[in-house]
Chain A
């Protein structure tokens, strides 16, 4: 690993970063926007990111009339002297260097990297980062430090601090095709292995539980196959739940009694509800309490009219509401009445350290997804609030609820500005940290997510984004925004991400870890994966 010097600092400001003049012989092409580099000041070492690259000339006349047909000798002489390059570098972290002449200082434990409080003087050296630099900043693999990938130009593992990761809600972003679900798998595996939290995953497209074929035809393992019975599979789809080798542990039914007003309002668009729906529901609730939905759906036309007269509800509105809500009833997994015990059991399992994946099977329309996720999560939240209060009273460590991370995809549907206040997810994102429940939000349109929610996301892992709005959104509330913008724009479409936030000491661009045999083994998967045959058998059912 070379300690190669790249250049010296020639200009800079605390707010805008440092300008480094590259040494002759160092070409711009050996550096990347977003690369991790180190500036050696006199007293501090500055861990920095490259945010921009410029070309310069000492005499502007050279540029207006570049030498024609120059010999290689002249071209080599001019490069780096008359023509040179500068890079803009943003210090992210600062490490105090011990005073070498003071023997006591050398023996003392050094403090770890701190936020940047100053800048180095002119002619401080810029050099490539070494393995030691990475380890100093990002820590070594093990315990809660989970390797997410390697830096863009090097081959050493960079770790996420999973304990920090689950302390707050987080987000995984990137335009479609950037492998967000793989990123989610990596992180969730890490969380499972390190046992920092339990997971509840709303698996809309049945991706996480069992093996799945990727775009390039490979088959990759699911969480159930890696972690075995640690992972419980719940399913809405009874039929699919019974496939051999891929069966679910529990089939979930949702009762009309479990559906609340907020659930319905959330589905306004999907159910085509009128604006009057909310008022009408309100009146129904006043009248029928918890049975309002059941009653509504059971009422005949006349009964409905009767009730409207009595309650003062608008007849047309009410009948329209009823019509729309009948759709709910038609769903296979909807029953009239379902006990909350099923959900509570699930929550207890989580508390015992199991991880739950809720599969939607054939019921993976937006309607199903929104309804069930919101509903289940509300229950989870209620239970967690109770548990936390009990723990606060008893102070018995056995009562302490396990940290829970809830994974949702297409998050903008739950967290767009219009509904963010009302969905449970919005509430969790804003408040539930204190109850140890956090979200892992996966989305390809971060600009559609409520900015307040976005600013609550502690760690953001983002792949390539091209829309300006999305880039702006993902960088909301992040310091050094401009420096990171360049890093974000220069990511490869596949396999490169930028991680910033609570779980890493400083933002870093990474090539993500491969989700392959080596990974499964690292996670402690039981046996070698067998191949596509199982998949085909599954497709055709048990026979």
Chain B
């Protein structure tokens, strides 16, 4: 309530003005960047990147290694007549430190949409409440490393894939004539970069389940992709900077490069703008990500490409076993594009992910309901839930 809207609105106005002022200059720079993208020879860049990697040069930013050319365009192939796309999403009720009893809830929503001659939809969710120590702590014997925040999110990713695995296995047992080709989509990256700074044992623990689920999917023949809308990544732009850099990329203070300005400009350009030459349905060629956590992924090392779904450029991340398989890659491309055309909103968003999200969402009412149910159940068994003072004051908000 005490937010001073007056002051804020003034600043909003300034911001708008500044944005408009920047545009013409920015456009020019973008053109330059795109020209650079077109002119940069992919082989040479690959080589340079490899060399620097071998020299253990630490890039201060993520770079993308092109599999093919930098500016290649692949148009959307036609989608098959019958196919199925399964979207998954998850949300949580995080553990409450201010409560005497500790638990958290994970709700994984999925939407399996079948198109074609046997059009159908299955929309559902799997909900679980975790309270055992082995779920609450990464190292339950010592009650060490509570699963919350980033770790909880990682846990959620794992849980999502495991649910996806179950769904696919369940469908595999259904008696049907011919099972249509199926792809799986999740909202968000496949690269769990948030785990980057965690100790190895933590990474191992969390990645284990994740990678296992991915293997299962591979075995079931279901290509998986991570769909990132309105991506902020600058991987490819960063690669261009590496290309024009004469020295080492971490010595920018001493840079006397003639293309310094361009380099600095590239620093502000995002890949989604860089690739805006893609027409609707077209995708870029594959790139490999330099994210450190991918070292642990093994066969599931993640590649990505950019795709114009009409209204925006999205980043699609796929495990290597998908990017290496032309058929699966093609299927994925076709299905994602098809989904965008079935999207009710603008810019388009895959209905499979939309419905999965709807299934996953936990409303405020439901959160309260869970709390009430917990309190009541514990009360029946003689344990009363106490709350911290801070928590109480937040609830009551007395005057």
Q: Do chains A and B touch in the complex (CB under 8 A)?
A: no
